[in-house]
Amino acid sequence: MTQLLSVENVSKAFGQLKVTDKLSFQLAQGEALGILGPNGAGKTTLFNLISGDIKADSGRISLKGIDITHQPAHRRCRQGIGRSYQIALPFGGMTVFENLLVAASFGAGRSGTSANDICMAILAQTGLLDKANRLAGTLTLLDRKRLELARALATQPQVLLLDEIAGGLTEQEALQLIEMVNGIRRQGVSIIWIEHVVHALMAVATRLMVIDFGRKLADGDPQAVMNSPDVKRVYMGIEA
Ligand X SMILES: Nc1ncnc2c1ncn2[C@@H]1O[C@H](COP(=O)(O)OP(=O)(O)OP(=O)(O)O)[C@@H](O)[C@H]1O
13 contributes a contact to ligand X by CB under 6 A = no
Query: Cα–chain-centroid distance for residue 22?
Result: 21
C-alpha to C-alpha distance for 27 and 136, rounded to whole angstroms? 33
37 contributes a contact to ligand X by CB under 6 A = yes
Complex with ligand X: residue 31 or 195, whichever CB lies closer:
195
Smallest distance from the beta carbon of 20 to ligand X, in angstroms? Answer: 8
Smallest distance from the beta carbon of 218 to ligand X, in angstroms? Answer: 15
Per-residue contact track with ligand X, 44 to 83, x per CB under 6 A? xx--------------------------------------
Complex with ligand X: residue 45 or 71, whichever CB lies closer:
45
Cα–Cα distances (Å) from 44 to 61, 183, 194, 199, in that order, read: 16, 24, 8, 20
User: Cα torsion at 235, 216, 162, 164 (round to 10°)?
Assistant: 20
Q: Pick left, alpha or beta for residue 176 (phi over 0 → left; psi -120 to 50 → alpha; otherwise beta).
A: alpha
Smallest distance from the beta carbon of 161 to ligand X, in angstroms? Answer: 12
C-alpha to C-alpha distance for 188 and 37, rounded to whole angstroms? 26
41 contributes a contact to ligand X by CB under 6 A = yes
List the one residue from 9, 13, 14, 137 that touches ligand X (CB under 6 A): 14
C-alpha to C-alpha distance for 104 and 114, rounded to whole angstroms? 9
The site for ligand X (CB under 6 A) is made up of: 14, 17, 19, 37, 39-45
